[in-house]
Amino acid sequence: MTEPTEWIDVAAEGEIPPGGFCTVDWGRTSIAVINADGAYYAIEDLCTHEEEVLTNGDIEGDEIVCCRHGARFSLKTGAALTPPAYEPVQTFPVRVRDGRVEVGVPE
Ligand code: FES
């Protein structure tokens, strides 16, 4: 994860329920901001196996499961935890500021 130079507004705090998510576009990248039991994580919303949208799958604790072939990714680190995905997904920092959830992106 690189140091953010810009923070993108995502949602009001409380607008993303536990186990839920919200997506924002950053250029051509879709970023999913996920509430995993009260902790926010942000990942690129694209499986590194065959480019399925990850938020089409299930969020289980601090992991997300790709709906196409079942690869699991860590929401904390982006690591691919099970085949058939081996490459990690990009992660982004998340902060809550003045009641707003924001995701940090590099310039
Ligand atoms: S596309 Fe995600 S596991 Fe294959």
Two structure tokens written together for 81:
């935890």
**Which protein residue has the closest C-alpha to ligand 1 atom 3?**
69
Secondary structure of residue 55 in the 3-state scheme: helix
Tell me the pTM: 0.94
**DSSP code for 78:** -
With the most atoms of ligand 1 within 8 angstroms of its CB, the residue from 69, 81, 87, 89 to mutate is 69
With the most atoms of ligand 1 within 8 angstroms of its CB, the residue from 46, 52, 53, 67 to mutate is 52
Q: What CATH fold (topology level) applies to the domain 10-95?
A: Rieske Iron-sulfur Protein (2.102.10)
Tell me, in angstroms, the distance from the centre of ligand 1 to residue 14's CA.
30
Residue ranges covered by each domain of the chain: 10-95
Give the tens place of pLDDT for each residue, 3-60.
Answer: 778 999 999 999 999 999 999 999 999 999 999 989 999 999 999 999 999 999 999 9
